[in-house]
């Protein structure tokens, strides 16, 4: 049986993680290593300035007092190092991780870390709204992983899956949507007259066809294949003028 490492950013006691684990136990041998508390929006951060503790909660379920990326490292490089996982699955996150938001997401960042280690990885997120439930997303995760575990997968397989609230009407392969940047910083003063800030603002999206945002807005499950090569390949041509100005006399002497 294939071995799957399950993690998340909502914490080891979250409902989404419990249902994901249950669904994946049908198709694989599952080990859970997840943060001991919520770590949403922790991005791809790694804890280097303090020791990390791992606790065994039950058979094949562990918590770590760190980020999702810490969990993947402790699991792959220590706990499972003699028999590493075939896949890493993260989620099911409480709330979507669409478009530009994937860079903030601890859920998706755990799969970035998996990919950097050469382990095929999938992230699942569930839209929040009326009639909210993780059940549909958990069933879908079981079906999707049931298919993937039968295949020889590329080491850089990285899928970001978002499930709409309510009954899904289909499945779309979708590109990342773009945020309409409405984030704002609210300035306030505490009782001692000192300034503090809240990062605020409601999410809004460009209504582009073919995006993950559009798929979920239309009640469809979106699957977005991602890769971590952030190179802007167009830039290798379009900044040639800059290189030719600077080359030859690099220090400008
Ligand atoms: Mn979360």
Region 66-80 average pLDDT: 98
For the cut 80, the answer to whether the pLDDT of residue 76 exceeds it is yes
Q: Return the ∠ at Cα 160 (arms to 156 and 166), rounded to 5°.
A: 155
Which comes out higher in pLDDT, residue 169 or 39?
169
For the cut 90, the answer to whether the pLDDT of residue 59 exceeds it is yes
- Token pair, residue 52, equals 């990390």
Distance from residue 107's CA to the centre of ligand 1 (Å) = 6
Give 2-37 pLDDT, tens digit per residue: 999 999 999 999 999 999 999 999 999 999 999 999
Distance from residue 3's CA to the centre of ligand 1 (Å) = 24
pLDDT value, residue 17: 98
Give 91-150 pLDDT, tens digit per residue: 999 999 999 999 999 999 999 999 999 999 999 999 999 999 999 999 999 999 999 999
Distance from residue 179's CA to the centre of ligand 1 (Å) = 19
pLDDT value, residue 253: 62
- pTM of the predicted model, to two decimals? 0.93
Pairing of strands 220-225, 158-163: antiparallel
Q: For the chain, what percent of residues have pLDDT higher than 90?
A: 89
Q: How confident is the model at residue 206 (pLDDT cuts 50, 70, 90)?
A: confident
CA distance 211 to 57: 39
Distance from residue 19's CA to the centre of ligand 1 (Å) = 15
Q: Are 74 and 52 in contact (CB under 8 A)?
A: yes
Distance from residue 202's CA to the centre of ligand 1 (Å) = 17
Side-chain-facing half-sphere of 144: CA atoms under 13 Å: 22
Q: How many Cβ atoms sit within 10 Å of the Cβ of residue 240?
A: 10
pLDDT value, residue 120: 98
Cβ burial of 122 (10 Å; 0-12, 13-18, 19+) is buried
Distance from residue 236's CA to the centre of ligand 1 (Å) = 36
For the cut 80, the answer to whether the pLDDT of residue 203 exceeds it is no
Distance from residue 141's CA to the centre of ligand 1 (Å) = 17
Region 193-203 average pLDDT: 89
CA distance 140 to 151: 17
Distance from residue 38's CA to the centre of ligand 1 (Å) = 7
Distance from residue 123's CA to the centre of ligand 1 (Å) = 11
Structural domains for the chain: 3-178+206-246 (3.40.1210.10)
């Amino acid at each position: 049986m294939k071995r799957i490492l399950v993690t998340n950013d909502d914490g080891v006691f979250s409902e989404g993680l419990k249902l994901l684990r249950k669904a994946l136990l049908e198709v694989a041998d599952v080990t859970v290593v997840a943060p001991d508390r919520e770590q949403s929006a922790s991005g791809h951060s790694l804890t280097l300035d303090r020791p990390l503790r791992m606790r065994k909660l039950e058979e094949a379920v562990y918590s770590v007092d760190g980020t999702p990326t810490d969990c993947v490292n402790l699991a792959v490089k220590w706990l499972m190092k003699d028999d590493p996982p075939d896949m890493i699955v993260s989620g099911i996150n409480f709330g979507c991780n669409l478009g530009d938001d994937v860079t903030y997401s601890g859920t998706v960042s755990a799969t970035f870390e998996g990919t950097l280690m050469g382990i095929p990885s999938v992230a699942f997120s569930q839209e929040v709204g009326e009639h909210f439930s993780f059940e549909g997303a958990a069933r879908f995760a079981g079906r999707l992983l049931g298919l993937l575990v039968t295949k020889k997968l590329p080491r850089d397989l990285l899928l970001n899956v978002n499930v709409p609230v309510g009954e899904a009407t289909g499945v779309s392969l979708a590109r990342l949507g773009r945020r309409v940047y409405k984030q704002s910083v609210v300035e306030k003063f505490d009782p001692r007259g000192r300034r503090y800030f809240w990062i605020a603002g409601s999410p809004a999206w460009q209504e582009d066809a073919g995006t993950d945002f559009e798929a979920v807005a239309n009640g469809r499950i979106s699957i977005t294949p991602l890769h971590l090569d952030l190179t802007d390949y167009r830039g290798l041509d379009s900044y040639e003028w800059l290189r030719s100005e600077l080359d030859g006399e690099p220090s400008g002497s």
